[in-house]
């Protein structure tokens, strides 16, 4: 069977709760985020995942992703990978979309990018690097990372331009699975937060 890539977004932080663009700022998880990470781990250690024996695990080195990985029970198997870091938002770091649109009313990150930060071409190249790595493996892989880089990976897995990522939302502590259908790249599940429902 061709390999799949399982995408785990980090747990809730103060900035993700308020909608602030959190790129390279190392914001810690909230208690809600820690609880969510543990519940995600419990899900991944039950059937049908059964702890994902043999899976290769990589995580963004930023604290919110790394801690989510550890609390989910995969920290001892994970390798830090800078390629999974969140988009460098440059001058827009720490701002909400509403704050940005007060100056640029029609701004859309997936079309317009960010000043003084990572370009659309650069984020595309990083997403492509993750996709190439995942497809080169002979087993499933699991990554812990951030909303925009994971959405970028989703778009590029499907072979679509980066702006497709605007149409695939991703909540904190969600689980998504990219796989195959009829021999072509496909989304098996996306933004699944069923484990967070009491």
Q: In what order do the strands lie in the sheet with 184-192?
A: 78-80, 56-59, 141-145, 5-9, 175-181, 184-192
Strands 141-145 and 184-192 turn out to be unpaired
Q: How many CB atoms lie within 10 A of CB 31?
A: 9
Residue from 56, 86, 93, 118 carrying the catalytic annotation:
86
**10 in active site:** yes
Instruction: Find all residues with CB under 8 Å of 48, minimum gap 6, and list them.
Output: none
CA angle 21, 93, 134 (to 5 degrees): 60
Which of 10, 21, 146, 148 is flagged as catalytic? 10
Q: What residues are annotated to the active site? A: 10, 86
């Amino acid at each position: 069977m061709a390999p799949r890539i399982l995408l785990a977004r980090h747990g809730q932080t103060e900035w993700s709760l308020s909608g602030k663009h959190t790129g390279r700022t190392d914001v810690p998880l909230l208690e809600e985020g820690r609880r969510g990470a543990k519940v995600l781990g419990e899900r991944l250690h039950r059937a049908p995942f059964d702890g994902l024996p043999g899976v290769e695990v990589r995580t963004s080195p930023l604290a919110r992703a790394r801690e989510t990985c550890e609390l989910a029970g995969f920290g001892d198997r994970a390798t830090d990978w800078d390629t999974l870091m969140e988009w460098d938002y440059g001058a827009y770091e720490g701002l909400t979309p509403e704050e940005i649109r007060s100056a640029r009313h029609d701004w859309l990150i997936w079309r317009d990018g960010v000043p003084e930060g990572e370009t659309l071409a650069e984020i595309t190249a990083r997403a492509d690097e993750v996709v190439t790595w995942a497809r080169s493996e002979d087993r499933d892989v699991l990554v812990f990372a951030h909303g925009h880089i994971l959405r970028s990976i989703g778009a590029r897995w499907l072979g679509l331009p980066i702006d497709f990522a605007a149409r695939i939302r991703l909540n904190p502590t969600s689980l998504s699975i990219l796989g195959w259908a009829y021999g072509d790249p496909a989304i098996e599940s996306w933004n699944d937060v069923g484990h967070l429902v009491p």
